[in-house]
Amino acid sequence: MKKITPEAQKLAEEAAPKFITAVQKSKEARQAHHEEVSVITSLEAFNDDPMLLYACLWYASSEEIAVTMLPAEGC
């Protein structure tokens, strides 16, 4: 998959800054400790916006960071 486009990255950065921060912290931890650290999130964090979800997952993939999705509450 190609690197994230500037438009998709802008969407992720503007609409999900906490997710972007989590990805960057995971990347820093990987570099410092040579261990994989995934971002843990849930679908609820993306406010029922599939494009935002896709942009964020694409961003994490471009940064080579895994994302773990938690099940919805009440499941």
Residue 60 has a pLDDT of 97
Q: What is the mean pLDDT of residues 44-72?
A: 95
Q: Residue 53: phi, psi to the nearest 5?
A: -55, -50
pLDDT digits (tens, 9 = 90+) for 6-31: 999 999 999 999 999 999 999 999 88
Of the candidates 14, 9, 21, 7, the one whose C-alpha atom is nearest the C-alpha of residue 56 is 9
Which sequence spans correspond to the domains of the chain? 6-69
Alpha-carbon torsion, ordered 4, 10, 12, 16, to 10 deg: 160
Tell whether the model's pLDDT for residue 35 goes beyond 90: no
Structure tokens at 39: 């971002």
pTM recorded for the entire structure: 0.89
The number of residues in the chain equals: 75
Confidence grade of residue 74 (pLDDT, cut at 50, 70, 90): low
Q: Residue 67: phi, psi to the nearest 5?
A: -125, 130
